[in-house]
Amino acid sequence: MKQQPTLQTQRLVLRPFNSTDVKQLQQLASAYEIAATTLSIPHPYPDNIAQQWIETGV
């Protein structure tokens, strides 16, 4: 699997998701306002899907 780069400026760090992001990702993806603006995020967002998605490395 190709490793994704980390981009960093003085005010921003854009990095690949990791296991420490699961709880917050699950919370954000579960919000109707987020899911309503995407084609691929289901609502309600199933438990453990965030962890599975992060593990895919996409």
Report yes or no: 13 and 6 within 8 Å, Cβ to Cβ.
yes
Residue (of 23, 13, 32) closest to 54 by Cα position: 23
Is pLDDT at 1 greater than 70 in this prediction? no
Please state, in angstroms and rounded to a whole number, the distance separating the CA atoms of residues 37 and 12: 24
Domain ranges of the chain: 17-56
Question: What confidence tens digit (pLDDT) does each residue in 12-35 have?
Answer: 999 999 999 999 999 999 999 999
**For the chain, percent of residues with pLDDT exceeding 70:** 97
Higher-confidence residue of 49 and 58: namely 49
